[in-house]
């Protein structure tokens, strides 16, 4: 939940819910140069397919072939679409950057990690929740059937500590809040009812939703006109995410739940409970999955299933895939021709998981299993989000800068933390904060396209360098054009392609402010 030049109001709680990631990563070896003048990014040059039985020095794993129309489509017509001053129309599609990466010496179709390697990456990086002094409270995957009440009280205290000293400087429905308003919110957390030993319940989310600092859907802002930066929003959950339920709100409408890298309040209707831990564990690792690789897909209107009707599934959503040999021959009076059949958890009338079969058209942008983890595929997925709305912490059914990285990398099976993405242990993290401008550019030329980079308060996916000008894609709230002398602060609140020469309010360029470069690739 990161935003350019915006102080994160949840910083104290993020210290509590710190995620440590340990991975084996190798620095890229190819040095990027400018795209040669005689290199044309034509339809044929831009079209890249993965062979049905691709073999590299790293793996003999077989992947399906994958290509998208994005690479063969015409350049974006900039007479209709605005771009930043140093972004040309041909740069607005992934094929340009895949060809550029190839010209710079990168194998854009090299399978960087197998599924087993990615699974080991995730298994080796248990989420660690820490106290403010750095001591370990618990790890998400290791929580058993009971949980210490004192640890839950500590988490709730972290939320309570965010109550502002001056309530009148925050606005609800355009009007300043009062001390009594915040007192009422605090009373909803049912703090006094926390037992010394909590019986843990296990569940899955059934739809996308925001996670809250307090158990309320109220939207509170730091100005009367702001509708983007909800102070009470903690993060978001995606469909079919596992979680641990520790507590209920005073009014009984919310759960306090722990997810892979954060803990917060969520509406009860978002969670379906499992019968026990064994049931929860078995559901977490189905033998076959179907992954959404579109920006999002919609399940469509279904008169026979109100629980799944018109449900939106964002990029990176994973669903249990049912083989055709064992799938129902008919669902909702539809013979299952030309569709994948998936089994998804829905919330039954008793609050527990009620499995439902759902049809996903083969024409949808989905993939059996996971996409092959290649530099080219990272770019393909990132470009599908271009122009999307900015969503602080996942608000507005959209993404902020760190949310994009979670969604894109989720297509390959990675579980990337919501925060602290550039301090993952074991990753190839290059600190460039002490380098001069030319040193930063040279480092970026050697960086694999699809890596991610950060400056204080903002993260971006690096897509390549052209004529010593590095480019990125990110969900951004505000920026200033890269032209020297420009001072107007623009508010795209969108996913934008830009060079690192766009500027902050301080007029420093993003390149000058860049701190870290992160590449996930084994040695």
pLDDT tens digits along 467-501: 999 999 999 999 999 988 889 999 999 999 999 99
Dihedral of CA atoms 280, 282, 287, 293 in degrees, nearest 10, equals 10
Q: Is the pLDDT of residue 349 over 80?
A: yes
Is 16's pLDDT higher than 60?
no
pLDDT of residue 128: 80
Q: 41 pLDDT exceeds 80?
A: no
User: What is the residue-averaged pLDDT of the chain?
Assistant: 86
* Reported confidence tier of residue 285, pLDDT bands at 50, 70, 90: confident
Q: What is residue 211's predicted lDDT score, i.e. its pLDDT?
A: 97
Helices (H), 198-348: 277-284
Q: How far apart are CA 421 and CA 249, in angstroms?
A: 31
d(CA 205, CA 200): 16
Q: Is the pLDDT of residue 133 over 70?
A: yes
**d(Cα 516, Cα 523) in Å, to the nearest integer?**
19
pLDDT of residue 423: 55
The full set of domain ranges for the chain reads: 11-122+373-519, 144-283, 289-368
Of the candidates 428, 447, 455, the one whose C-alpha atom is nearest the C-alpha of residue 511 is: 455
377-416 pLDDT tens trace: 999 999 999 999 999 999 999 999 999 999 999 999 998 8
Burial of 461 (0-12, 13-18, 19+ CB in 10 A): buried
User: CB of 110 within 8 A of CB of 54?
Assistant: no
- pLDDT above 70 for 64: no
Beta-carbon count within 10 A of 217 CB: 12
Question: What was the pLDDT predicted at 68?
Answer: 47
How far does the chain reach from its first CA to its final CA, in angstroms?
30
* Helical (H) or strand (E) element with 205: strand 201-205
Q: What is the average per-residue pLDDT within 45-60?
A: 34
pLDDT at 425: 57
Do 507 and 92 meet the contact criterion of CB atoms below 8 Å apart?
no
Residue carrying the six token digits 């740069």: 91
User: Tens digits of per-residue pLDDT, 307-326?
Assistant: 999 999 999 999 999 999 99
Q: Which residues pair with 334 in a beta bridge?
A: 331
Q: How much is the pLDDT for 377?
A: 98
| d(C-alpha 316, C-alpha 318), whole Å | 6
Q: Which CATH number fits domain 11-122+373-519: 3.60.20.10, 3.40.50.2000, 3.40.640.10, 3.90.1720.10?
A: 3.90.1720.10
CA–centroid distance for 467 within its chain: 30
When pLDDT is averaged across residues 490-518 and rounded to a whole number, the result is 95
What is the pLDDT, as a whole number, of residue 46? 34
Residue-level pLDDT at 485: 85
- C-beta of residue 170 within 8 angstroms of C-beta of residue 233: no
Q: Can you give the pLDDT at residue 419? A: 66
Confidence of residue 141 (pLDDT cuts 50, 70, 90): confident
Lowest mean pLDDT among 39-53, 245-259, 286-300, 360-374: 39-53
- E-assigned strands of 382-515? 428-431, 452-455, 458-466, 469-476, 479-480, 489-490, 494-499
Enter the tokens of residue 178. 């009062």
Write down the residue that tokens 């021959």 correspond to. Answer: 329
Q: Which residues contact 232 (CB under 8 A, 6 or more apart)?
A: 212, 213, 214, 216, 218, 219, 220
DSSP state of 389: B
Partnered with residue 200 across adjacent β-strands are none
Calpha distance 442→194 (Å, rounded): 54
Judged on CB neighbours under 10 Å (0-12, 13-18, 19+), 442 is: middle
What predicted TM-score, i.e. pTM, was given to this entire model? 0.85
Q: Is the pLDDT of residue 119 over 60?
A: yes
CA atoms within 13 A on the CB side of 348: 10
Q: For the segment 408-463, what is each residue's pLDDT rounded down to a tens digit? A: 999 999 988 776 665 555 568 899 999 999 999 999 999 999 999 999 999 999 99
Q: pLDDT (tens digit, 9 = 90+) per residue, 207-233? A: 999 999 999 999 999 999 999 999 999
Count CA atoms closer than 13 A to 515's CA, side-chain side: 9
């Amino acid at each position: 939940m990161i935003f350019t030049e915006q102080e994160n109001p949840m910083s104290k709680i993020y210290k509590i819910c710190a995620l440590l990631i340990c991975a084996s990563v190798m620095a890229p070896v190819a040095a990027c140069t400018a795209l040669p003048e005689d290199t044309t990014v034509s339809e044929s040059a831009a079209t890249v397919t993965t062979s049905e039985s691709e073999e590299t020095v790293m793996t003999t794993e077989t992947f399906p072939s994958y290509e998208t129309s994005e690479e063969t489509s015409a350049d974006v017509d900039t007479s209709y679409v605005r771009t930043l001053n140093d972004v040309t129309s041909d740069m607005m599609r992934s094929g340009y950057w895949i060809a550029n990466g190839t010209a710079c010496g990168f194998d854009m179709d090299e399978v960087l990690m197998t599924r087993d390697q990615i699974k080991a990456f995730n298994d080796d990086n248990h989420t660690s929740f820490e106290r403010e002094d750095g001591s370990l409270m618990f790890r998400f995957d290791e929580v058993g059937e009971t949980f210490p009440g004192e640890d839950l009280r500590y988490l709730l205290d972290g939320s309570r500590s965010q109550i502002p000293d001056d309530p009148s400087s925050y606005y609800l429905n355009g009007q300043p809040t009062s001390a009594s308003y915040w007192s009422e919110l605090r009373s909803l957390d049912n703090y006094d009812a926390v037992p010394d030993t909590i019986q843990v319940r296990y569940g899955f989310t059934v739809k996308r939703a925001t996670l809250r600092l307090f158990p309320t859907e109220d939207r509170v802002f730091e100005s009367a006109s702001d509708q983007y930066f909800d102070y009470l929003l903690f993060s978001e959950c995606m469909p079919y995410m596992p979680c641990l339920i520790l507590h209920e709100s005073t009014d009984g409408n919310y759960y306090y739940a722990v997810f892979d890298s954060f803990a917060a309040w969520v509406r009860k209707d978002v969670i379906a409970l499992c019968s026990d831990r064994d049931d929860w564990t078995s559901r977490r690792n189905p033998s076959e999955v179907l992954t959404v690789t579109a920006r999002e897909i919609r399940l469509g209107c279904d008169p026979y299933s109100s629980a799944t009707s018109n449900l939106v599934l964002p990029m990176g959503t994973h669903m249990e895939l049912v083989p055709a040999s064992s799938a129902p021959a008919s669902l909702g009076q539809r013979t299952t021709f030309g569709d994948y059949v998936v089994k998804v958890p829905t919330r039954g009338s008793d609050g527990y998981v009620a499995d439902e079969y759902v049809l996903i058209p083969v024409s949808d942008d989905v993939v059996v299993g996971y996409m092959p983890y290649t530099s080219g595929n990272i770019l393909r997925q990132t470009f599908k989000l271009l122009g999307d709305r900015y969503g602080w912490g996942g608000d507005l059914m959209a993404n902020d800068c760190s949310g994009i990285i979670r969604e894109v990398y989720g297509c390959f099976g990675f579980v990337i933390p919501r925060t602290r993405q550039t301090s993952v242990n074991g990753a190839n993290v290059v600190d460039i904060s002490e380098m001069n401008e030319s040193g930063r550019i040279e480092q970026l030329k050697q960086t694999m396209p699809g890596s991610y980079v950060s400056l204080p308060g903002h993260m971006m996916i690096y897509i390549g360098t052209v004529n010593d000008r590095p480019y990125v894609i990110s969900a951004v709230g505000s920026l200033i054009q890269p032209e020297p002398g420009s001072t107007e602060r623009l508010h795209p609140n969108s996913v934008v392609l830009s060079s690192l020469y766009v500027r902050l309010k301080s007029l420093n360029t993003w390149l000058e402010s860049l701190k870290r470069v992160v590449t996930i690739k084994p040695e």
